[in-house]
Amino acid sequence: MSNHYPTHHSFYLSVPKEFNYDQNLHFLKRSPKELLHTVTGDAVVKLLSVDGERVLVRISSGKDQLILTFLNTENPSPSIQKKVTEFVTEWFDLENDLSPFYEMAASDKLLKDLIERFYGYRIIGQPDLFESIIWAVLGQQINLSFAYSLKERFVSNFGEKEKWNGADYYLFPKPDVVAKLSGEQLLPLQFSRQKSAYTINIGEAFARGDISKEKLRGLSLQEAKELLMKIKGIGNWTANYALMKTFRYPDAFPLEDVALHKAIMLLKRMKQKPTLDQVKRVFKKYKGWEAYATLYLWKSLTLD
């Protein structure tokens, strides 16, 4: 990625050919309850914690590039600029070359129409592994709207906040804060007893250092899953989801995912949802691109 810095508070980040800003912005707008970023017009504003500072960044689109503008600091250090660039690159999955995926998908019955319609859509990630896992736990066995309600209450009650221009911007709660919570603090937010226990337990595991992004880096998918699944509350679906969204393991996909099954059923015009073996058979063709195949199959459910 080549970057240059035309002013003290804005700079440009080049994007690959297979990137469509509007497709990805549409995903970021999917819930009005989202507190961890704000979409205004065609720009996204996100609060980051970088080098001990709270940094508010606006991301907008230019020709073949993203424009990153610092809102609450006039002269960010080179280290902060570098880390913000790295975060946005990771968040939008800009370093992944999608051309082999598109070549494969172009001749696939299930995917070919989807990649044409949603060309440039990428896995909007969650670079924070703790956030990724907790979000997966919050979403277990409930609909997306209610999951966002739980997340909104969780973030507004326990996350750090920065006020700018009359609006509040939030950071995801830190593991050491979550580790000290009790069920009595989470139950009034409509957390189930099980979700409360899992959330606190995962916070404790991160706070103790049993698990971290650094500990998983470089492991195979199977090794990373095994390490995560030692923690109570993290099952196969949650581990796969987090590894797909945080590390972009190409072969991490939530095999048991209900929405994925529904997408396959509708696209293949099946009378009932596929079995796990049938899903595995479908995904054999997608080896090495399972995560992106999942993304586009999920996307099929949003077709008008």
Cα gap 298→302, rounded to integer Å: 8
Contacts of 278 (CB under 8 A, 6+ apart): 264
Is the separation of the CB atoms in 170 and 160 below 8 Å?
yes
Over residues 8-15, mean pLDDT:
85
How many CA atoms within 13 Å lie on the side-chain side of 118? 26
Closest listed residue to residue 203, CA positions, set 224, 182, 227, 229:
182
pLDDT of residue 141: 81
pLDDT tens track for 55-113:
999 999 988 999 999 998 888 899 999 999 999 999 999 999 999 999 999 999 999 99
DSSP 3-state of 232: coil
Out of 108, 257, 277, 304, pick the active-site residue: 257
Given a cut of 50, whether residue 205 has pLDDT beyond it is yes
The residue assigned the tokens 């492991």 is: 219
Confidence of residue 147 (pLDDT cuts 50, 70, 90): very high
| Catalytic status, residue 257 | yes
- Better pLDDT: 103 or 302: 103
In this prediction, residue 294 carries a pLDDT of 94
User: What's the pLDDT score for residue 303?
Assistant: 56
Instruction: Give me the chain's average pLDDT, please.
Output: 92
pTM for the structure as a whole = 0.90
Tokens of 87: 């975060």
Domains of the chain: 3-95 (3.30.310.20), 96-120+250-304 (1.10.1670.40), 129-160+170-247 (1.10.340.30)
Output the pLDDT for position 1.
45
Which of 3-7, 138-142, 220-224 has the lowest average pLDDT? Answer: 3-7
Structural contact between residues 23 and 101, judged by C-beta atoms closer than 8 angstroms = no
The dihedral over CA atoms of 230, 236, 240, 242, expressed in degrees to the nearest 10, equals: -50
First to last CA, the chain: 35
Identify whether the C-beta of residue 24 lies closer than 8 Å to the C-beta of residue 59: no
Please tell me the predicted confidence (pLDDT) of residue 8.
45
Q: Which residues, other chains included, contact 13 with Cβ-Cβ below 8 Å and sequence gap of 6+? A: 1, 3, 65, 66, 67, 68, 85, 88, 89, 94
- pLDDT bucket at 2, cuts 50 / 70 / 90: very low
Euclidean distance between CA atoms 286 and 281, whole angstroms:
10
